[in-house]
Chain A
Amino acid sequence: MDFPMAARLAETYASGDGSGRQEESRVNEQVQLLERWLAAYSQQERGAMMDSLAEDAVWHVGGTHRFSGDYRGRDAIIGYFDAVRKETSDTMTLETLEVLANERHGAAFLRVTAERQGRRLDTVAADAFRFDQQGRIVEFWASNADQASIDEFWS
């Protein structure tokens, strides 16, 4: 069997490309931006949430539940988070396990808990972020430890 794709990836990993060690200050700024985004979500600071997002940001929500789909633009994204907050009666909490970033991309690993209509969600989520030239979130998407239980939770 031949796996040229894996060979290409191995070469890149060997070169250390994208480790983020170059441009250390931008790296720290982007980690701080993600931490501000997560804090703004938890504290329901809409202004700070808006400031972290590019005007044309896109948020992709996976799965097959009522909230699955793409949310385009700040208003649509904030609207999504408002709807989730309402559906879970403000019980959703995010515990940050680790935040990683360089000037182009970011990652957040989160423990997510929430309650809805007697159902309880307790899962680890991995969020991926892409930044624009100004360092704002322009695209982000997430997966959860157990997509089936997420779908069940929102069913």
Chain B
Amino acid sequence: MTKAESLRTAMEAVSRGNLQTFGDTLLSDDVVWHWPGRSSVSGEYRGRDAALGLLQRFHTLTEGRLQVEPLDILEGRDHLMSFTHITAEREGQQLDVVMADAMRFGPDGRVVEFWTLSNDQNAVDSFIG
């Protein structure tokens, strides 16, 4: 399975609400997930359970409010970067950013390090709260 295929399988699982399959398919046991900025979810999450907890909280905080336009996937030997255009509106507040999800894959084909990068971190922080 290519890295993009693992990501696709994992995303399909998430779309059915199956976070556990997302974790088992995509994330290494000792994955580290970096979420930058100063919002309530910012920080470093170590281990698959912690990473899934982050994902759960992010979805709960933003549920149904984000419009996502996939832009590009770049896949290499050890890494993958996925670009998405994210827009949202809440109480007159606009969010319009490009997110780059960066992943480093380990020898077993699962992600060992994950970075969620935004071109406007302050806007993302304000939106998440």
Contact = CB atoms under 8 A, between A and B. Distances in A.
Interface of A: 1-10, 12-14, 16-20, 60, 62-64, 97-102, 104-107, 109, 124, 126, 128, 130, 139, 141-148
Chain A CB within 10 Å, residue with most, of B38, B72, B116: B72
A18 B79 contact: no
A12 B120 CA distance: 24
Nearest to B42: A147
By secondary structure, the A interface counts as mixed
Nearest to A104: B72
18 contacts: A1-B17, A3-B17, A3-B59, A5-B68, A10-B11, A13-B5, A13-B8, A16-B4, A98-B79, A99-B76, A104-B72, A109-B104, A126-B79, A128-B81, A143-B116, A143-B117, A144-B34, A145-B34
Interface size class of B (residues with CB under 8 A): 35 or more
Contacts of A146: 34, 44
A19 B3 CA distance: 11
Contacts of B82: 9
B28 to A, nearest CB: 15
Given A100-B81, A107-B81, A126 B115 contact: yes
B78 interface: yes
B66 interface: yes
Nearest to A61: B121
A4 B70 CA distance: 13
